[in-house]
C-alpha cells in the first residue's frame, strides 16, 4: 500500500498503481465529479495518472486557475482535432493555453477567414458530444517521429525534447505531442468559443514559415463563457486607441510610427500623473535626477548593452565617436552614483528618474500606447547594504500597494528565481537574495507566486501583476536585485570599518512606462478618469454667452488660481447639446451658469454619469474639486 498525503494534512493508504480518479471517488464521489486534474508532489498531472509511490496529492477543482489552464489547453487540442477532420493534410504547430483562453497554429494549405470559425466550432461540438476519452502514453523519440513522420513541425518538436521518451495525448482519431495534463474526456469541453484568426511565424521566427493561428476560449459553464464574451465586447468599447482619439489625448503620426504625440488634454493627464508620482516619492524619501538621452558607446559597452541589446538601440555618430540613445536609465544612474563618495550612513539611497527612453520595436508589434518606441520609464535605483534588503524592499512593496490602491488596481506578486544556466554570481548569493525578497513580501503582508528559473541573469526579481476593471492582468511594477551593474561599474561605499564594499542595488519601476500605464488607465476607467486625474475637471456652460460670460470669466480666474483644470463652452449651440457633449467627453463636472448663479455667486453642477443638478456656492464647489486631490493622501 502507498501512503498519500492529502491537502488537509491527512494520510490515505491506496493500492499501488491506483488511478487518481479512483482515489478521488473513494474520498468523495461528488468531489471526484468536480476534479479537473491533480498535483502530485507539486507537479500537475491528469486524473488517469497512476500513483506508484508515497506522495502528496492535491485534487484541483474548476475554481483553481490551474484548472482553467488545463481546460483551455485541452480545448486547443479539441480545435486541432476538428481541423484534422476537416483538413486531413493539416500540419500542426503548437497549441498552448494563454491568459484567457488558447490558440493553435496550423499550416492548412488554404486561407482561413473569420467566416470559417463557425464551421470549426460545429465540428468541435460533434467531438464534444462523442465524449471521447483523452489518454496519455509515452513513446521513444524514434517511435514518436515515425508516428508523426508526415508532420514536419511535430518532428521538430520531438527533436527538441531532451528526454528519450515523448509524451503523447490521444483522443479518438487525433493524437498530439504534449506534456499535458488534460481533462479526462472531450465531453468536459462544452463551453467554448473561437474568437479570431491571425498569422504567426513558426516558433516566433520571421525567417520561418507563416502559420495560421486560431484563438479561442473555454470555460466551465455557459454563464462564465457568456460573461467573458460580454467582457470582450466591453473591452472593444474601451480600446485606448479609440478613446484616446475621441477624448483628444494622444495621436500617432505616420511620420513617427511608435512615437506618440501628447495632445493638450493628454499632456494634462500625463502631468497630473507625473506630479502624483513625484509627490508620493518625495514623501517616501526619494531624490530625483535626470540623465542624458544620448551617451557614448563606451558606457554601453561597460553596461553590456552594446553587445546584448544593440539591435534594440538607436545609434548615431558624433565627432567620429559612436553614441546610442538610451533604451533604459540604469547606466546613467550608475554614473550619478559614482559622482560622489558614499558611506553606509547614506543608505538606503533612493534615486528616482522619470527618464525618456527609446527602443527599436518591430513595426508589427506597435500597439497604441501599449507598445511604443519611446516612453517615460519611472525608474528608481536604490543602493543599500545586504542587511537592509528585506526592510527596504518591504517599504517598496507597501509604496506600490499605496499607489495602485489609488487607481483601484488589485495585484499579486510573483518571485522569479535564478535561471538554471545563464546567471552571474555565486549560488549562495542568489539563495540569500531570493530569501530576502521572499522575506520582504511576508514582512509587507503579501503572499507570492514562485516562478522558478525566471529571474534575470543578474538577479532575482518581484513582478507585480495588476488586475483592471475588465479582469485583465497587466505586468507593470517590478523590483529587481542587480548583482551585475555594481560590479561592472565598480560601485563602492565606505563601510562602518572604513573598508570599501560593494553596495546592493535594486532597480524598481512602479508604473513601468507612463505611456503604457496611461493606456491601461484609459481602458480601466473607460476614459472617465477620477477628478484629480481628469484632463478637464470642469466644463463651464453659460445659459447665454452674452449675459453670463462675465461671471464665467470671474470663475476662470478663481479656477486658474486654485489649479483647477477647466474649459468654457461659448459656442453657439443648444444647451442640451453642450451638456450631452460634456458627458460624452466624460468630464467629471459640468457647470451650468444662468441668472440665479450670477446674481447669488453660485454654481450649479452636474456630475458625469448623473442627471442630478446641485447648486452650491463658488467656495463650496472649489473645495469639492480640491478635496479630490487631498483624498490621494
E strand or H helix at 166:
strand 165-171
434 closest CA partner among 376, 481, 380: 481
What distance in Å separates the CA atoms of residue 333 and residue 352, rounded to the nearest whole number? 9
DSSP designation for 403: H
DSSP label at 602?
Answer: E
Interhelix angle 545-562/618-630, nearest 10 degrees: 40
Is residue 374 a contact partner of residue 356, using CB atoms and an 8 Å limit? yes
DSSP element (H, E) containing 107? strand 101-107
Contact criterion met (CB below 8 Å) for 382 and 348: yes
Query: CA-to-CA distance for 364 and 505, rounded, in angstroms?
Result: 35
User: Cα(first)–Cα(last) distance of the chain, in Å?
Assistant: 61
Tell whether the torsion through CA atoms of 367, 371, 374 and 379 is positive or negative.
Answer: positive
Catalytic residue among 81, 145, 373, 377: 377
Cα–Cα distance, 187 to 132 (Å, whole number): 7
User: Does the active-site annotation cover 379?
Assistant: yes
Q: Is 381 a catalytic residue?
A: yes
E strand intervals along 99-183: 101-107, 135-140, 165-171, 174-177
377 in active site: yes
User: 330 an active-site residue?
Assistant: yes
Catalytically annotated residue among 379, 463, 468, 482: 379
Please provide residue 612's backbone torsions phi and psi, each rounded to the nearest 5 degrees: -70, 140
Q: HEC string of 5-53?
A: EECCCCEEEECCCEEHHHHHHHHCHHHHHHEEEEEECCEEECCCCEECC
> Which residues neighbour 155 within 8 Å (Cβ) at sequence distance 6 or greater?
145, 148, 149
Q: Which of 297, 365, 368 is nearest to 326 (CA)?
A: 297
CA distance 331 to 485: 8
Reply yes or no on whether 287 is catalytic.
no
Residue 433 contacts residue 460 (beta carbons within 8 Å): yes
Cβ atoms 357, 328 nearer than 8 A: yes
Strand order in the sheet with 566-568: 566-568, 538-542, 589-593, 602-607, 614-617
**Cβ-contact 438, 394 below 8 angstroms:** no
Q: Spell out the residues 6+ positions from residue 421 whose beta carbon is closer than 8 angstroms to its own.
A: none
Angle at 233 between CA 512 and CA 73, to 5 degrees: 75
Task: Choose among 433, 391, 393: nearest CA to 413.
Answer: 393
Find the catalytic residue in 507, 548, 565, 586.
Answer: 507
User: Taking the mean position of all CA atoms in its chain, how far away is CA 55?
Assistant: 35
Catalytic residue numbers, as ranges: 330, 359, 377, 379, 381, 461, 507
Amino acid at each position: 500500500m502507498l501512503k498519500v498525503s492529502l491537502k488537509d494534512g491527512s494520510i490515505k493508504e491506496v493500492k499501488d498503481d491506483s488511478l487518481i480518479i479512483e482515489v478521488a471517488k473513494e474520498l468523495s464521489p461528488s468531489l471526484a465529479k468536480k476534479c479537473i486534474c491533480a498535483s502530485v508532489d507539486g507537479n500537475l498531472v491528469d486524473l488517469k495518472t497512476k500513483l506508484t509511490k508515497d506522495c502528496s496529492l492535491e485534487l484541483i477543482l474548476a475554481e483553481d486557475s490551474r484548472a482553467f489552464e488545463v481546460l483551455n489547453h485541452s480545448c486547443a487540442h479539441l480545435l486541432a482535432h476538428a481541423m484534422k477532420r476537416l483538413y486531413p493534410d493539416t500540419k500542426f504547430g503548437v497549441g498552448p493555453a494563454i491568459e484567457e483562453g488558447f490558440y493553435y497554429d496550423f499550416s492548412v494549405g488554404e486561407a482561413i477567414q473569420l467566416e470559417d470559425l463557425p464551421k470549426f466550432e460545429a465540428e468541435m461540438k460533434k467531438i464534444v458530444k462523442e465524449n471521447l476519452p483523452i489518454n496519455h502514453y509515452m513513446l521513444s523519440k524514434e517511435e514518436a517521429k515515425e508516428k508523426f513522420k508526415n508532420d514536419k513541425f511535430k518532428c521538430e518538436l520531438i527533436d527538441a525534447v531532451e528526454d528519450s521518451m515523448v509524451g503523447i495525448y490521444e483522443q479518438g482519431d487525433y493524437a498530439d505531442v504534449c506534456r499535458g495534463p488534460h481533462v479526462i474526456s472531450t465531453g468536459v469541453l462544452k463551453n467554448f468559443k473561437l474568437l479570431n484568426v491571425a498569422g504567426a511565424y513558426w516558433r516566433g521566427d520571421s525567417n520561418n514559415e507563416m502559420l495560421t493561428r486560431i484563438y479561442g476560449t473555454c470555460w466551465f459553464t455557459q454563464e462564465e463563457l457568456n460573461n467573458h464574451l460580454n467582457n470582450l465586447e466591453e473591452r472593444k468599447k474601451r480600446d485606448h486607441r479609440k478613446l484616446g482619439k475621441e477624448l483628444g489625448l494622444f495621436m500617432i503620426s505616420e511620420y513617427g510610427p511608435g512615437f506618440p504625440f501628447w495632445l493638450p488634454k493628454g499632456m494634462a493627464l500625463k502631468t497630473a500623473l507625473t506630479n502624483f508620482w513625484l509627490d508620493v516619492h518625495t514623501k517616501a524619501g526619494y531624490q530625483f535626477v535626470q540623465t542624458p538621452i544620448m551617451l557614448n558607446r563606451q558606457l554601453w559597452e561597460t553596461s553590456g548593452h552594446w553587445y546584448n541589446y544593440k539591435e534594440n538601440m538607436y545609434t548615431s555618430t558624433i565627432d567620429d565617436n559612436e553614441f546610442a540613445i538610451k533604451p533604459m536609465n540604469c547606466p546613467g544612474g550608475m554614473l550619478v552614483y559614482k559622482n560622489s563618495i558614499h558611506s553606509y550612513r547614506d543608505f538606503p539611497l533612493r534615486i528616482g528618474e522619470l527618464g525618456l527612453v527609446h527602443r527599436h520595436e518591430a513595426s508589427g508589434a506597435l500597439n497604441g500606447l501599449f507598445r511604443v518606441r519611446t516612453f517615460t520609464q519611472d525608474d528608481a535605483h536604490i543602493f543599500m547594504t545586504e542587511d537592509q534588503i528585506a526592510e527596504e524592499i518591504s517599504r517598496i512593496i507597501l509604496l506600490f500597494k499605496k499607489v495602485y490602491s489609488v487607481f483601484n488596481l488589485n495585484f499579486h506578486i510573483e518571485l522569479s528565481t535564478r535561471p538554471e544556466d545563464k546567471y552571474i554570481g555565486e549560488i549562495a548569493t542568489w539563495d540569500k537574495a531570493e530569501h530576502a525578497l521572499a522575506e520582504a513580501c511576508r514582512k509587507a503582508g503579501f503572499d507570492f507566486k514562485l516562478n522558478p528559473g525566471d529571474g534575470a541573469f543578474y538577479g532575482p526579481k518581484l513582478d507585480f501583476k495588476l488586475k483592471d476593471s475588465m479582469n485583465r492582468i497587466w505586468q507593470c511594477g517590478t523590483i529587481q536585485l542587480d548583482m551585475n551593474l555594481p560590479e561592472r561599474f565598480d560601485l563602492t561605499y565606505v563601510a562602518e570599518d572604513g573598508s570599501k564594499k560593494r553596495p546592493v542595488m535594486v532597480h524598481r519601476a512602479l508604473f513601468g512606462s507612463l505611456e503604457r500605464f496611461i493606456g491601461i488607465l484609459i481602458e480601466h476607467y473607460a476614459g472617465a478618469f477620477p477628478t484629480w486625474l481628469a484632463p478637464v475637471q470642469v466644463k463651464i456652460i453659460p445659459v447665454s454667452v452674452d449675459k453670463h460670460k462675465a461671471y464665467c470669466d470671474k470663475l476662470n480666474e478663481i479656477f486658474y488660481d486654485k489649479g483647477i483644470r477647466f474649459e468654457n463652452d461659448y459656442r453657439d449651440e443648444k444647451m442640451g447639446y453642450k451638456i450631452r457633449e460634456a458627458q460624452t467627453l466624460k468630464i467629471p463636472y459640468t457647470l451650468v451658469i444662468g441668472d440665479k448663479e450670477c446674481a447669488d455667486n453660485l454654481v450649479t453642477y452636474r456630475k458625469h454619469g448623473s442627471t442630478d443638478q446641485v447648486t452650491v456656492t463658488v467656495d463650496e464647489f472649489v473645495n469639492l474639486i480640491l478635496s479630490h486631490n487631498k483624498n490621494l493622501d
